[in-house]
């Protein structure tokens, strides 16, 4: 029961940390800034996996949960050892869980710009407005960030 509760907590906590990297989501720091705009047509699409993050959140949460769960095993010195081992195992599992939960379905787009040159952009696939081969798109670039959205 404790293990199931701990796993549920970790999943809820980590999914709250995920960010949206589709072409239609902006951070507050990106708002009200000039972007370079290009237009083109998608010539190739390939679905890819965008790796998740391996941050301290999953490791710390997993270690805490594993340590608490381990401390319930045995008594005395054995309980202390189980708590340490549970914490280490929980930290490793928490880190792996964070990476898996924050991974995203991505799409790699090869785009023929109206100028005739080609570019390739990878971003999170947007199930609400999926892009397809042949779509006219607008490419928005701001610093090192590029996003692709359907041109209307």
Q: Per residue in 85-122, pLDDT tens? A: 777 777 777 666 665 665 678 999 999 999 999 999 99
Q: Are residues 124 and 148 in the same domain?
A: yes
CA–CA separation, 73 and 83 (whole Å): 8
Q: Are residues 76 and 148 in the same domain?
A: no
Q: Are residues 58 and 80 in the same domain?
A: yes
As a residue count, the chain comes to 152
Residue stretches of the chain with pLDDT short of 50: 1-2, 5-6, 10-11, 13-18
Q: Does residue 27 sit within a domain?
A: no
Q: Does residue 28 sit within a domain?
A: no
Q: Does residue 10 sit within a domain?
A: yes
User: Residues 61-98, buried b or exposed e (16+ Cβ, 10 A)?
Assistant: bbbbbbbebbbeeeeeeeeeebbeebbebbbebbbebb
Number of domains in the chain: 2
Domain that holds residue 47: 34-51+104-152
Give the pTM.
0.56
What confidence score (pLDDT) does residue 33 get? 83
Q: Are residues 39 and 1 in the same domain?
A: no
Q: Are residues 13 and 82 in the same domain?
A: yes
């Amino acid at each position: 029961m404790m293990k199931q509760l701990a796993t549920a907590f970790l999943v809820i906590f980590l999914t709250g940390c995920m960010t949206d990297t589709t072409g239609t989501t902006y951070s507050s720091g990106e708002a009200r800034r000039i972007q370079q705009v290009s237009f083109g047509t998608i010539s190739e699409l390939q679905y890819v996996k965008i790796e998740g993050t391996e941050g301290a959140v999953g490791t710390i949460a997993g270690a805490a949960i594993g340590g608490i769960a381990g401390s319930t095993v045995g008594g005395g010195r054995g309980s202390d050892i189980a708590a340490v081992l549970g914490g280490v195992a929980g930290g490793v599992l928490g880190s792996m869980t964070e990476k898996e939960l924050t991974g995203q379905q991505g799409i790699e787009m090869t785009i023929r710009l109206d100028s005739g040159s080609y570019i390739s952009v990878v971003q999170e696939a947007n199930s609400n407005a999926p892009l397809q081969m042949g779509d006219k798109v607008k490419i928005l670039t701001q610093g090192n960030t590029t996003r692709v959205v359907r041109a209307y």
